[in-house]
Amino acid sequence: MRLGGFEPFTASDFPGRPAAIVFSQGCNFRCPFCHNGTLLGQRPAAELLSSRDFFAFLETRQGLLGGVVVSGGEPTLQEALPGFCRHLKEMGFAVKLDTNGSRPQVIHDLIEGQLVDFIAMDIKAPLARYELLAGKAGAAENISSAIALIAGSGVPHHFRTTHVRPLLTDEDLRAVLELVPPGSAHRVQPFISASAFDSTLRQAL
């Protein structure tokens, strides 16, 4: 895994469990409001956290942490993700996946392999506006597939949307809510302008 870093403890990111968060390096979206801009592109290997070092840290937290949040960046871009999650499970940690939903087949394989215990998927915008809000053309079909897959998986999950005014209007937010299947939770996250990837958003909001 190409890892951009980690946080040793969170009490809020993995529902019901104290956890660590590890951040994968690299993302296929370019959301202007992203607050993890340093994780979007590639970085020299010397600047990355090795999986071995992260696992060594976790060995010191066995019995203290209940889970690991695998976030990013976008974790599903990495071929090593299934093996990484499997190793976390073998160490006794529950695994939460944070994903943008762009690679539903990878999510499917993780679910089928019982490698994830919780999934949080970002729904960036109404499908018709995905290219603007995610900075990537042609993502809508995969997003729809991922929503349906996660909602029907039986794996605990929630969907979430960052409400970025003026990019995302109240009408847009209502359209996003219509994408969330009955029985699935949806959370609206506040926009943190100070750390936005797009500097114009940092200055304007």
CATH, residue 138: 3.20.20.70
Tell me: pLDDT of 15 over 70: yes
pLDDT band at 197 (very low <50, low <70, confident <90, very high): low
Longest dimension (CA), the chain: 47
CA distance 71 to 52: 17
For 132-187, write each residue's pLDDT tens digit.
889 888 999 999 999 999 999 999 999 999 988 878 999 999 999 999 999 999 99
Mean pLDDT of 181-198: 78
Q: In 45-134, which ranges are E strands? A: 67-71, 94-99, 118-122
Tell me: pLDDT of 196 over 70: no
Burial of 183 from C-beta contacts in 10 A (0-12 / 13-18 / 19+): exposed
- Percent of all residues in the chain with a pLDDT value above 90, rounded to a whole number: 77
Mean pLDDT of 12-20: 98
- CA–CA distances in Å: residue 120 to residues 60, 87, 91, 92, 153: 26, 20, 22, 21, 13
pLDDT band at 203 (very low <50, low <70, confident <90, very high): low
CA distance 116 to 113: 8
Task: Pick the closest to residue 67 from 58, 80, 54, 75 (CA basis).
Answer: 58
Residue 36 carries which side chain, given as an amino acid letter?
Answer: N
Q: What is the pLDDT of residue 205?
A: 47
Tell me: pLDDT of 17 over 70: yes
Range of the structural domain that residue 75 is part of: 3-204
Burial of 194 from C-beta contacts in 10 A (0-12 / 13-18 / 19+): exposed
Tell me: pLDDT of 25 over 50: yes
- Percent of all residues in the chain with a pLDDT value above 70, rounded to a whole number: 93
Tell me: pLDDT of 79 over 60: yes
Q: What is the pLDDT of residue 114?
A: 99
Mean pLDDT of 54-69: 98
Pairing of strands 67-71, 19-24: parallel
Tell me: pLDDT of 39 over 90: no
Other residues' Cβ atoms within 10 Å of the Cβ of residue 100:
25
Tell me: pLDDT of 66 over 90: yes
Number of structural domains (the chain) is: 1
- For CA atoms 201, 34, 41, 6, give the dihedral sign: positive
